[in-house]
């Protein structure tokens, strides 16, 4: 049953998007008010709420602020602008440019990014392209975006402020086919989705839906609003640990040319798992407008939404916090492996269903050993899991420093060269179909591969307890840490389109490894002197 709590009958008068709204003062955050009281869902909650992801950014008196950690009562007498208040013409321009550059995929993070860049641009006078790029890189440090790899967002920002007018890209069959191939799940990329209207479950639940969250014991607690449910649950969100991460699987013995150990890593998707259901109905998909890089395999929130809706006789929106996602969501399995001069090798992997099949299909010359260790659940659905590690090891045998060449399981081929000052990518993935989409996903994959290899790690103790419980503690590379990425798309007319970005992901990770001298462990930056 819903749990009621005493609420203050004091009122707040807030100026939001040019209108005064009188609401009850429940002591909540500005994000609570925007979403629950005013139905303005453009501001998103990606960190539950710790002010870490930037997805809830709004403008307060023209300055960007994260709404999730801003008390609502502090903005009385001030002007709040959300993405819905940006203005039709300006919003249309942003939607057009983000589609034209490929600067948005799922669209969860871009509303907050747009508003921060709007504020950054207001401080510029006749900026050069270089100044715009530097401004964007600095502004984006306050945000996380897992899909796009940052660069295409900056390209949209530059185009918007240099008088370049692009044509919005239509959702053609070729475009949709390429989106579905690269995202591995149906996804819509359009001017409206770039501004946050991607049909996310937390945005589309009925206005009278109860809200359910997990308490510290893992039980679902139901309230009339998200803020109320969180208060009743009483769970304090975890923080980043000071403990060192470790590599849980020992290196196999043998005459190897190179070896590699990895630890636990999290997919790091921004939209936390959410689903709503009406009594007797089917739950809304927790995938929203994207596949979450294979990380939302459990669908626990869908089952919870259905069960709780039937129990309460009302629609229920079930939500994971960021801590829930990290504790319960499947991870990229840790591995330890070595490759011999003849190309054969051994890969040890944390026990993971389907890992044997993946390795047998991609690298039959490798022996696989599944190792039982304590830790979070793992999955082969995570982008490139198992085979990308083999592709990295294989790069040790490629002659010369570059290019690194990787053939993905789909048959696509990525060639990459360069390093921290710039990465050149060439990809063959059948008929291109839509170059904007394929380029965007390849840039995002290049960022993800570089980030995985260099900086991502999740601290899991030997007894299996996760200690990194915030989105910033996952080590996802920032815009400033990501090298410029140049992409060449090799069109193959008449050949069936196939996924190309996954091969880019593995190839760029291998490039980072080669650049760091085949260092024996990921993440690579943790092995630099003084780190």
Q: Which pLDDT tens digit goes with each residue over 60-73?
A: 999 999 999 999 99
Q: Are residues 345 and 467 in the same domain?
A: yes
> Residue 251 falls within a domain, yes or no?
no
Do the Cβ atoms of 261 and 249 come closer than 8 Å? yes
CB 412, CB 285: distance < 8 Å? no
Kindly state whether residues 71 and 154 are assigned to the same domain: no
Strands of 447-522, DSSP E:
485-490
Helix axes 435-454, 151-160, angle to 10 degrees: 130
Q: What is the pLDDT along the chain (531 residues), one digit of tens a residue?
A: 344 444 445 789 999 999 999 999 988 999 999 999 999 999 999 998 899 999 999 999 999 999 999 999 999 999 999 999 999 999 999 999 999 999 999 999 999 999 999 999 999 999 999 999 999 999 999 999 999 999 999 999 999 998 776 665 666 788 899 999 999 888 899 999 999 999 999 999 999 999 999 999 999 999 999 989 999 998 877 776 667 788 999 999 999 999 999 999 999 999 999 999 999 999 999 998 887 888 886 689 999 999 999 999 999 999 999 999 999 999 999 999 999 999 999 999 999 999 999 999 999 999 999 999 999 999 999 999 999 999 999 999 998 878 999 999 999 999 999 999 999 999 999 999 999 999 999 999 999 999 999 999 999 999 999 999 999 999 999 998 999 999 999 999 999 999 999 999 999 999 999 999 999 999 998 764 434
| pLDDT digits 0-9 by tens, 134-187 | 999 999 999 999 999 999 999 999 999 987 766 656 667 888 999 999 998 888
Q: Which residues pair with 338 in a beta bridge?
A: 259, 346
- Report which of 224, 192, 190 is spatially closest to residue 209, judged by C-alpha positions: 224
pLDDT tens-digit profile of 7-61? 445 789 999 999 999 999 988 999 999 999 999 999 999 998 899 999 999 999 9
Strand partners, 404: 416
Do residues 303 and 362 both lie within one domain? no
Three-state DSSP state, 349: strand
Residues 515 and 416 in one domain: yes
Residue 376 CA, distance from chain mean position: 19
The C-alpha atoms of residue 56 and residue 68 are separated, in whole angstroms, by 6
Is the domain of 33 the same as that of 97?
Answer: no
Q: What is the distance of C-alpha 228 from the center of its chain?
A: 27
CATH number at residue 132: 1.10.150.120
Specify the 3-state DSSP secondary structure of 143. coil
Query: Do 44 and 170 share a domain, yes or no?
Result: no
Rounded to whole angstroms, what are the CA distances from 440 to 48, 113, 170?
Answer: 28, 17, 15
One domain for residues 367 and 449: yes
Q: Is 383 found in the same domain as 304?
A: no
Task: Name the E strands within 25-130.
Answer: 57-60, 63-66, 79-81
Say if 48 falls within a structural domain. Answer: yes
In a domain, 217, yes or no: yes
Residues 110 and 190 in one domain: yes
| CA 23 – CA 14 distance, rounded (Å) | 8
Is residue 254 situated within a structural domain? no
281 and 340 together in one domain: no
Residue 252 covered by a domain:
no
pTM: 0.94
Is 477 inside any structural domain? yes
Domain count, the chain: 4
- Report pLDDT for 9: 52
- The CATH code of the domain that includes 386 is 3.30.365
**Residue 34: which CATH number?**
3.10.20.30
**356 plus 488 within the same structural domain:** yes
Percent of the chain with pLDDT over 70: 95
Domain presence at residue 261: no
Same domain, 194 and 184: yes
Residue range(s) defining the domain that contains residue 49: 11-84
Q: Which residues of 314-347 are buried (b: 16+ CB within 10 A; e: fewer)?
A: bbbbbbbbbbbbbbbbbbbbbbbbbbbeeeebbb
């Amino acid at each position: 049953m819903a749990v009621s709590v005493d609420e203050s009958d004091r009122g707040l008068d807030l100026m939001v998007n040019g209108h005064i709204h009188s609401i009850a003062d429940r002591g909540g955050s500005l994000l609570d008010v925007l979403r629950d009281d005013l139905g303005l869902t453009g501001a998103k909650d990606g960190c539950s709420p710790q002010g870490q992801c930037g997805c809830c950014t709004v403008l307060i008196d023209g300055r960007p602020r994260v709404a999730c950690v801003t008390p609502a009562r502090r903005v009385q007498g001030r002007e709040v602008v959300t993405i819905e208040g940006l203005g039709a013409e300006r919003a249309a321009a942003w939607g057009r440019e983000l589609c034209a550059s490929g600067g948005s995929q799922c669209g969860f993070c871009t509303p907050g990014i747009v508003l921060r860049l709007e504020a950054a641009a207001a401080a510029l006078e006749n900026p050069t392209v270089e100044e715009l790029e530097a401004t964007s890189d600095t502004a984006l440090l306050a945000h996380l975006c897992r899909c796009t790899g940052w660069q295409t967002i900056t390209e949209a920002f530059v185009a918007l402020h240099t008088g370049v007018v692009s044509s919005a890209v239509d959702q053609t069959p070729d475009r949709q086919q390429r989106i579905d191939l690269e995202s591995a799940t149906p996804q819509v990329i359009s001017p409206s989705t770039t501004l946050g209207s991607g049909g996310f479950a937390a945005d589309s639940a009925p206005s009278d839906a109860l809200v359910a969250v997990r308490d510290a014991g893992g039980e679902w607690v139901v309230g009339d609003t998200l803020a109320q449910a969180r208060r009743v649950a009483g769970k304090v969100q975890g923080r980043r640990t000071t403990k060192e991460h470790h590599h849980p699987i020992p290196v196999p013995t043998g005459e190897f040319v190179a070896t590699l150990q990895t630890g636990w890593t999290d997919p790091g998707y921004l939209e936390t798992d959410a689903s709503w259901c009406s009594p007797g109905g089917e739950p809304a998909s927790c995938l929203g407008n994207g596949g979450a890089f294979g990380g939302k395999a459990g669908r626990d929130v869908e089952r919870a939404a259905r069960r709780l809706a039937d129990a309460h006789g009302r629609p229920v929106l079930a939500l994971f916090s960021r801590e829930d996602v990290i504790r319960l969501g499947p991870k990229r399995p840790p591995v330890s492996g070595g490759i011999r001069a003849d190309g054969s090798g051994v890969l040890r992997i944390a026990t993971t269903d389907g890992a044997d099949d993946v390795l047998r299909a991609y690298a039959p010359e490798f022996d696989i050993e599944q190792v039982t260790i304590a830790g979070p659940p793992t999955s082969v659905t995570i982008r490139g899991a198992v085979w990308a590690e083999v592709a990295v090891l294989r790069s040790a045998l490629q002659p010369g420093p570059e290019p690194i060449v990787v053939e993905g399981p789909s048959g696509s081929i990525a060639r990459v060269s360069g390093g921290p000052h710039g990465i050149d990518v060439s990809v063959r993935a059948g008929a291109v179909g839509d170059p904007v989409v394929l380029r965007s996903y390849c840039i995002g994959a290049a960022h993800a591969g570089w980030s995985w290899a260099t900086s991502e790690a999740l601290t899991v103790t030997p007894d299996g307890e996760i200690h990194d419980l915030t989105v910033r503690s996952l080590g996802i590379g920032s815009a400033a840490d990501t090298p410029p990425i140049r992409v060449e798309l090799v069109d193959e007319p008449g050949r069936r389109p196939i996924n190309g970005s996954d091969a880019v992901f593995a190839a760029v990770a291998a490039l980072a490894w080669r650049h760091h001298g085949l260092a024996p462990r990921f993440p690579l930056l943790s092995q630099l002197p003084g780190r």
